[in-house]
Amino acid sequence: MKEVFYRIFVKRQEKYWWMNILVPVVSIFIALIVGAIFIASTGRNPFLAYKYLFGSSGLIPGPYFKSHFSEMLIASSMFIATGLAFAIPARAGLFSIGAEGQFIVGAITAAFFGYYKPLANLPTIIHLPIVLLMVIIVGGLWGLIAGYLKAKKGINETIVTIMLNWIAFHLIEGWLVTGPMKADVATGVSGTPYVSPTAKLPIILSGTRLNISILIMLFLVYAVWFLLYRTVFGYELRAMGYTAITNMEAPKIGGVNTEKRIMQIMFISGAIAALGGSFITLGVLFQYPPVFEGGYGFDGIAVALIGGNEPVGILLSGILIGALRTGATSVQLVKIPKTFPAIIEGLIVVFIALHELIRYLLVKAITKKKEGVSV
Amino acid sequence: MNWTYLINESLKQMLDFAAPILFAALGGVISENSGVVNIALEGIMRFAAFFGVWGAFNSGNPWVGLMWGVLIGALLGAFHAYITVKWAGDQIVSGVAINVIATAMITYFLEWIFKTTGYSPTVAYFGSSKYLVNINFIENIPVLGAFSHLHILIWISLILVFVLHFFLYHTVLGLRIRSVGEYPLAAETLGVDVLKIKWIAVILGSVIAALGGVSLSLGTMSSFTNSMPSGKGFIGLAAMIFGKWTPIGAMLASFLFASAQVLQFLLQAIAKGIAAKIPVGFYLALPYILTIGALVGVVGKAVAPAADGVPYKKEES
């Protein structure tokens, strides 16, 4: 299965280098057109749909732009987190579907250390870093389970991460939130208690909910880029990905301690996904709710793929998906179900997958033009 | 306690749980033996579960629903094959695309067609007494009795395991599928149309996965709910890897997983004393913990078909 990935890393050496930018942009554009056709075929007005979708996506200035913009960045920071959490192992030839579980593990850890009484009276500058540190440790360890089993026992990381998602989900919803971490019944709160104000992520744009989560993610995008392209660790990680097709024999011969690397990679991946989960507890809901609306982990896979598993690409695709989701609620105003933007997301992924076709058509169109000019 | 009844009921429930997972796993087996990874199983099941109900809703007959499910499975398989075989697109990307679209589009269809959020109206289904496969004379025999009143899709899932085993290992087409998944270049040299074989395997695999979707919505249940298939496609994927890419292995893995589910219910039902104090979450998590335990203890390393996931491109001349 992981043999798939070697292709993703192999950067094409070709004449038209700008194809690598043009192809995703054209893919997004075609996806929007197909989405419009879909909307029209179900008897609704596609122009209205897009007007509402983008009008309240936070990308285009308009009424309530400030709040849409901040909501967009809040959502984007979570998608970027789960996107990176998929991409880092993928670059090493590991296929982890565990971001969903790591995300909720991060959310519940943040909730616990957020309301935990002995910490609640500390100032934010001390309390918040402690909470985030615990999130990183717990989330990282959750990711490490799959990494350890893969490295030491050779057990397929895909199965283990799928199982860990369910284990996390059931232990949290079937035990922690209804048991030891349940809010006091007298307060009338369902789910966990609310976190202390000192654990909330500081707001960076007054009058909105926009908090430092997006700054943390911007830093992390840079850190992951640096890690991948400017460190020995990143070099070895990419080498493992390149040679995944030869069952990691080559980097072993080259002196890479693959076992250690796999465990480190899975720890980092889990920690980043968990950080994304903590943003929802510390910046949006301020508690772990009784029923959690998940999906960020699975959307992270799409984000990573649209972004070509590149940190900067993930930053941009995370913002795009965040914007589509922010605009989602307002399409309901024109009687279009709010899952419509997710259809667009899927269509973008489809045309990303068809990049060979799009590349072929673009190259054909361009070369034809040039010939025409020369004649 | 009536042991015969308990054993038969548990086994019956196990087969019932196993069927959708087994279909998904078998679909994956066929596709991946030809070298095409299909993580879209989840999305295909969701599509098929919905259109199965839609077909049964319009006609009042679950068989029509089944046909719609199969048709949509074939279409999605063709879609996946078009991207991954025809254009050598990335198989994971294509699979994720189908999964994302399935979640979004089916919710959209529910609101658009049935004007509801989250569930469809109830329809005629295979679990109703009219459509059950009744074998009355084995009813009271331990173990065998479990098979006395199963719905047709469970039977199809069980028979399919052996059909596919025979197909993969004892027919020419099966051999070709496996050779294409192991060493496409050699197969090409021997005159096998690699791309055509992949098309066939992907579509066939998707149709089988679609049966899994139909067995969710028209098997024991009689309607579509938005929480379908809630990860059963991924569990099927896991069962396929667990079963080392073979039909019989996939069956054993699905059974193991379904048994853990039944065990969880039994434990919860008979929990007394200290066991009753164990939170429900632990019981629910048990099947997944057992799966990891089984992987660590028994199965260990699995080897995929050599060219699994590698797109095949014909040399252009």
pLDDT in tens, A341-372: 889 988 998 888 888 788 888 888 877 766 66
Rounded CA separation A21/A313 (Å)? 10
Partners of residue A170 in chain B, C-beta under 8 Å: 281-282, 284-285, 288
B107 at A interface, C-beta within 8 A: yes
Q: Tell which B residues from 262 to 281 touch A, by Cβ distance under 8 Å.
A: 279-281
**What burial class does residue B291 get, using C-beta atoms within 10 Å of its C-beta: 0-12 exposed, 13-18 middle, 19+ buried?**
buried
User: Are B199 and B312 contacting, i.e. CB atoms less than 8 angstroms apart?
Assistant: no
Option in A153, A174, A295 nearest B296 (CB): A153
**What burial class does residue A75 get, using C-beta atoms within 10 Å of its C-beta: 0-12 exposed, 13-18 middle, 19+ buried?**
buried
Q: How far is B127 from chain A (nearest CA, A)?
A: 28
| Crossing angle (nearest 10°) for helices B41-59 and B3-33 | 120
B154 at A interface, C-beta within 8 A: no
% chain B with pLDDT above 70: 95
Neighbours of A169 (CB within 10 A): 21
Compute the average pLDDT of residues B2-30.
Answer: 91
Rounded CA separation B205/B212 (Å)? 11
Rounded CA separation A83/B234 (Å)? 19
pLDDT in tens, B69-110: 999 999 999 999 999 998 888 888 888 889 989 988 998 898
Task: Share the mean pLDDT of chain B.
Answer: 88
B91 at A interface, C-beta within 8 A: yes
DSSP line for A199-248:
GSPPBSSTTS--BTHHHHHHHHHHHHHHHHHHSHHHHHHHHHHHTGGGTT
Q: Tell which A residues from 19 to 78 touch B, by Cβ distance under 8 Å.
A: 42
pTM beyond 0.95:
no
Partners of residue A87 in chain B, C-beta under 8 Å: none
Cβ density class B188-221: b for 16+ within 10 Å, e for less: beeebebbebbbbbbbbbbbbbbbbbbbbbbbbb
Give me the interface pTM, i.e. the ipTM.
Answer: 0.85
User: Are A302 and A86 contacting, i.e. CB atoms less than 8 angstroms apart?
Assistant: no
Cα B214 versus chain centre, distance: 10
Partners of residue A167 in chain B, C-beta under 8 Å: 285, 288-289
Record: contact B107-A337, CB cut-off 8 A: yes
Contacts of residue A82, Cβ cutoff 8 Å, sequence gap at least 6: A99, A100, A103, A273, A276, A296, A297, A299, A300, A301, A303
Dihedral sign from CA coordinates of B126, B129, B131, B135: positive
> A36 is written with which tokens?
């419009």
Instruction: Report the chain B residue with the minimal C-alpha distance to residue A361.
Output: B87
> B184 is written with which tokens?
């496409």
Quick one: CA torsion of A195, A198, A202, A203, rounded to 10 degrees? 70
Residues of chain A predicted below pLDDT 70: 1-17, 244-253, 369-375
